[in-house]
Chain A
Amino acid sequence: MTATIVTVDDDETTRQLLRHRLGREGYDVHVFRDGQAAVDGFDDLPTEPDLVVLDVMMPRLDGKRLLRRIRNGETAIDPGTPVIMLTSRAKEADVLDGFESGADDYLAKPFSPSELVARVRRQLPG
């Protein structure tokens, strides 16, 4: 069965890149332009997402707050869904902050899509 991945990023370049790269790996990819759009759109997903790739700095609802809402069960998806943070904030404190917020993995921009795919595979069961 095809795994469903949600990517949330306010940068069009990154959104298209992730959709293309992860799509080529056979994943069903859904993209949202910010945290609030993701919260609103989770209800409309055809299937429960297996993984979320999340930017940190976004308008309206940023990645950390969205992650907190996911973990608190305040969204329509499973609170235990693996989340990979993908952000240009790469300082040690930011990475630790991301993990403390409940992220399962953290990748700094600029990033290698091949590395992201490897991390996605590690997070997905089977």
Chain B
Amino acid sequence: MGIVGPFVRSSLRVRRDPHAVSVPLQTGSIGGVGERLVLWTGVVIGSLLIAVFVLTVGVSVYEARLRRRREAVRDDVRAGLLDRLYDPDEPGWETWAEGMSGPERTVAEELLDEYLRTLEGTDAERLRGLGTALGIGDRSRGRLDARDEYARLRALGWLTLLRDVPDAVAAGEYDAATPRERAAVARLLYETDPEAYAERAVDVLLADAGEAFPAFGTDTLYRLATTEPTAVVEHAADNYDRWSPGLLAQVLVVCRAVETGLAGADLSWIVALLEHEAETVRVEASLTLARFGWRTPIREEAFLRRATDDDSPRARGAGYTMLGAWGDERSVAVLAEALREESNDRALLAGAEALTDAGVHRETVPERARPAWEWVRERRRYDDRARNVGPGYEGDAGDGESGDGGNDEGVANPAATDPDGGRFDWAEVDIPDRESTGGSPEGGG
């Protein structure tokens, strides 16, 4: 019996002891209600758990059955779709769609979604007829009024695949509620007819924008900017002061990527952003200006030194990159002077990269930046060799022995040196055209 035996015997003795104090068990009404409450609570929770379990299993079994039925018809539907798509006669989508079972229609919609994302040209155009035959266009238009944002986004996605712009959207009367939805509407307009709708799409995307876009919105912004760069820049110039740092950074990155389409645009807002309170914005503004090259109005604002005086080492580094990318005599002089006092290693490295981009002579490099400059040159030389291992290669990128092909002023911008060994006038060259910065030829000195 071990411990249990003595314990049971002791309990029995206590019960038989006539002198033992009797303590009645609390079985009054309060205790009874409590027990019953606990009991019923347990029953309810248990029943709920059982119901949830049964429901989960039931739904899973039902979904599995549906999935099996769909998979069973998938190959036939795919074959039917491809046969009709490449039928030399009319595809007969309407007749085909009318004869479909429920699972076949679902599979046809799934395949249509896949193929419309894969195809373009006449094949895609022909396949869109299946979307009409399945009633997807009408259904999606009806769902644009749905309260659920994701239902509206799905509808906009389908309308984009079908290149079907509802009148309200085309007329600018559709009210997109969120950045995601604005991006979806802009994408619908852009994909349907870039030439006709690009400007309207930019309006939709940026008119009420304030916060940064998700990835899809950024991609849409980039596509729009490649088609209608001026509209994007005009919106930015008008609204930059009420945009969040995240959105500003996105717009600056996009402008940087499409800079060749911005000749003559007002860029003063980018210059103003060099004073923005957010470090990221100042950095992106510097890097964007690096791509545009200097222009006389910018130089007149005498912001060269300001770009190198930032409290943030990261922003200073971007400023150095900008100056090195421009590579003109004045910019390089400011850059070299700033590096004499630079105390942050990363900023110093960015400055050394910038000096290398500008192709300066060794003696122009400040003593403080010289180890970093040597390191940058060596690294670029190694990279260049690693990438050019073919026979006959004799190049030595980033070297030029501290600026071969340069000039007497200590500035050896390869892009500023003509093929005959002469020099262009610095004042006439706005943008250094070199691989590392991808400068553009526009701008007005």
Contact = CB atoms under 8 A, between A and B. Distances in A.
B124 interface: yes
Interface size band for B: 10 to 19
Contact of B82 (A20, A114, A115): A20
Given A16-B82, A20-B82, A112 B118 contact: no
A111 B111 CA distance: 16
Interface in B34-71: none
Q: Looking at chain A, what size class is its interface with the partner chain?
A: 10 to 19
A62 B321 CA distance: 36
Contacts of A14: 118
B121 A112 contact: yes
A114 B119 contact: no
Interface string A1-37: 0000000000101101100110010000000000000
A46 interface: no
B82 A112 contact: no
Contacts of A109: 118
Contact of B119 (A20, A24, A111): A111
A111 B119 CA distance: 5
Contacts of A59: none
A63 B115 CA distance: 22
A112 B119 contact: yes
A110 B119 contact: yes
B117 interface: yes
A112 B118 CA distance: 9
A13 B121 contact: no
Contacts of A112: 119-124
B86 A21 contact: yes
Contacts of B117: 110
Given A16-B78, A21-B86, A111 B122 contact: no
B122 A110 contact: no
A113 interface: yes
Contacts of B309: none
A110 B118 contact: yes
Interface of B: 78, 82, 86, 111, 114-115, 117-124
Given A11-B118, A17-B119, A111-B120, 11 more contacts: A16-B78, A16-B82, A17-B115, A20-B82, A110-B119, A112-B123, A112-B124, A113-B119, A113-B121, A114-B121, A115-B121
